[in-house]
């Protein structure tokens, strides 16, 4: 008698490179109106001197349960609501990770490290 296999039994293991996740998060952040740039201002100068950061302004960690936690460090344009921009960045990262790689992140922390003016306005 032949065995029946379900869809769950046919699934394999999928591995995603860390650089791919960093790129998705980076692009999702830059898509939001009001975000001037991502910044590595949070990294001490002595760490920058010896280790080149893999991604500008994005740090990711997996906890013991395998949940992805994201920290994004941004500068925001003058005139935009910081809480609104931060919320939209969180939502866009969550939606991008879910739609592109099927990953539901845990915490998404948005750190605002500065406010920038548009050079044309000055």
The reply to whether the predicted model has a pTM over 0.85 is no
The domain locations on the chain are 17-116
Across the 122 residues of the chain, what is the mean pLDDT of every consecutive 10-residue run? 52 81 93 88 61 75 90 93 95 95 92 81 46
Q: How far is CA 78 from CA 36, 71, 85, in A?
A: 9, 22, 11
- Please check whether residue 105 is in contact with residue 94, taking contact to mean a CB–CB distance below 8 angstroms: yes
Class of domain 17-116: alpha beta
Measured CA to CA, the distance from residue 65 to residue 106 in angstroms comes to: 10
For residue 94, the SS3 value is helix
pLDDT of residue 39: 81
Measured CA to CA, the distance from residue 51 to residue 80 in angstroms comes to: 33
- Please check whether residue 40 is in contact with residue 56, taking contact to mean a CB–CB distance below 8 angstroms: yes
């Amino acid at each position: 008698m032949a065995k029946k296999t379900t869809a769950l039994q046919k699934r394999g293991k999928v591995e995603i490179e860390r650089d791919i996740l960093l790129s998705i998060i980076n692009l999702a952040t830059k898509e939001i109106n009001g975000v001037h740039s991502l910044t590595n201002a949070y990294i001490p100068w002595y760490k920058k001197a010896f280790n080149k950061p893999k991604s500008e302004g994005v740090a990711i960690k997996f906890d013991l349960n395998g949940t992805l936690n994201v920290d994004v460090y941004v500068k925001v344009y003058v005139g935009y609501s910081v809480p609104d921009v931060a919320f939209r960045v969180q939502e866009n990262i969550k939606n991008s990770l879910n739609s592109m790689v099927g990953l539901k992140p845990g915490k998404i922390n948005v750190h605002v490290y500065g406010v920038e003016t548009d050079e044309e306005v000055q």
